[in-house]
Amino acid sequence: MFQAAAKAQSVASTLSQAVLLSIRHYCKKTPTKLRVSEALLGAEWGAHVKIQGWVRSIRHQKVNLFLHVNDGSSLQSLQIVAASHLNDPLLTFGSAVEVTGVLKESPHRKQPVELEADEIHVIGECNPVDFPFKIKERHSLEYIRQLPHLRCRTNAFSSLLRVRSEATTAIHSYFKENGFVQIHTPIITSNDCEGAGELFQVVPSHPENEEDENFFSVPAFLTVSGQLHLEVMSGAFTRVYTFGPTFRAENSQSRRHLAEFFMVEAEISFTQCLEDLTRVMEDMFRSATEQVMAHCAEDVDLFHKHVTPGHRSIFRVTYSEAIDILNRSSQKFAFPTNWGCDLQTEHEKYLVKHCGNIPVFVTDYPYDLKPFYARDNQDSPEHTAAAVDLLVPGVGELCGGSLREERLDLLRARYLELRHFGSVPHGGFGLGFERYLQCILGVDNIKDVIPFPRFSHSCLL
């Protein structure tokens, strides 16, 4: 009896030792999963790690095989060195792989670290003949635009999307740090923001009868701007903003218009002059750009053509001064430049160039050029409104804003109710997020700065 118990105890202890040993063995063997960006930091030399990503280059030598693997976490790929017996016919440019091995200091000056592989698994095959990207070839933005399901695998577009993500965070941080409350303004609305743009109407896809076509009791549209909803909220929170998708049904094939784009809009109560708005526009622009530069320097460098305007001051001219500048120019413009005419892209481009290729605020537009909610500059000799546009190099208009007309006697029917109860002087602006990215990266076509562009007569993915 005693012997049997002792035997059982010894078996149990041997078993538990075996379990412990295998756990230890497993722990030792289980590699740490790292992102390529983490591996490249060089802090994990000697560590046994696992990397997952897509093959960006492949080179066979007598004894060794060299791969570059990218997982979207950085512009740089990680170099993998493997003995040639680890080669696999399925290991091709574009295939998805999982590599385990030991991180080592690299003998090459260009990369601090490389992965000496002990295992390579092909997780997703990629036939290089059919794959539309070819190894070592530079593909133009126009070419990759035709491949919306694959363009995120290119260096240019993945850099761009990392910058886009960082800029989004930076804009939210700016508003948070400056006491703004974020408002999720509606996407479906009956409001057209006083003709900010052409509308897309929203109707059920299968109305059972004619009445059902008006799902809401009034016609409904995709939002062209959250301004009106922000104006409501600024009447309680003082400083509010929204950052979301916006829709315009203009049939425009231009390099700076989309049917669906992202807009940053802010509304501020107790404003006294346009400076109260332009200060916020400038600070937001500068602080977002600085954060992008600090966190995505490599990605920005890939694009950089312009000197990043975030670091320079912004020039200011009134609309009347802008018209003088245009009229004194020797350049022949296609559109008229008389006082009262709207500024066209050719005028905006000229003004930015004239001011030294830096961003320019144009203020105090003719009253008739701006929507009726823009505040009347009643004491100005010419009839102007307290409205401002920010023009930037390479793009033209990036932001539009104004003080809002809060004086009841000067307002017409639509806004009356809103201005009745505790109305205060206020103003706001909207910034086209894609145009901001075009501006800081020097990208010519707006379709190249949005993950899946929507524009008239395009196919949707």
Which residues form the interface with ligand 4AD (CB under 6 A)?
193, 196-197, 225, 227, 248, 257-258, 261, 263, 265, 397-401, 428-430, 432, 434-435
Give the three-class secondary structure for 269.
strand
Could you give the angle at the alpha carbon of 174 between the alpha carbons of 171 and 177, nearest 5°? 145
Contacts of 165 (CB under 8 A, 6+ apart): none
| Minimum separation from the CB atom of position 345 to ligand 4AD (A) | 12
Give the CA-trace dihedral at 12, 14, 18, 20, to 10 degrees.
70
Do residues 441 and 160 lie in contact, with contact meaning Cβ atoms separated by under 8 Å? yes
| Minimum separation from the CB atom of position 61 to ligand 4AD (A) | 49
| Minimum separation from the CB atom of position 237 to ligand 4AD (A) | 15
Instruction: Report the residue number, 79 or 289, with the smaller CB distance to ligand 4AD.
Output: 289
The pair of structure tokens assigned to 413 is: 């029917």
| Minimum separation from the CB atom of position 193 to ligand 4AD (A) | 5
Half-sphere exposure of 282 (CA within 13 A, CB side): 17
Give the three-class secondary structure for 427.
strand
CA separation for the pair 421, 92 (Å, rounded): 68
Give the three-class secondary structure for 388.
strand
The per-residue DSSP string of 152-200 comes to GGSHHHHHHHHHHHHHHHHHHHHHHHTTPEE----SEES--TTTSSPPP
Instruction: Report the residue number, 101 or 430, with the smaller CB distance to ligand 4AD.
Output: 430
Closest CA to 113 of 24, 31, 47, 174: 47
Residue nearest to ligand 4AD (CB): 432
Instruction: Report the residue number, 82 or 437, with the smaller CB distance to ligand 4AD.
Output: 437
| Minimum separation from the CB atom of position 435 to ligand 4AD (A) | 4
Instruction: Report the residue number, 150 or 181, with the smaller CB distance to ligand 4AD.
Output: 181
Instruction: Report the residue number, 56 or 248, with the smaller CB distance to ligand 4AD.
Output: 248
Instruction: Report the residue number, 38 or 444, with the smaller CB distance to ligand 4AD.
Output: 444
Paired with 103 in beta bridges are 115
Residue 391 backbone phi and psi in degrees, to 5:
-105, 140
| Minimum separation from the CB atom of position 279 to ligand 4AD (A) | 16
Instruction: Report the residue number, 303 or 429, with the smaller CB distance to ligand 4AD.
Output: 429
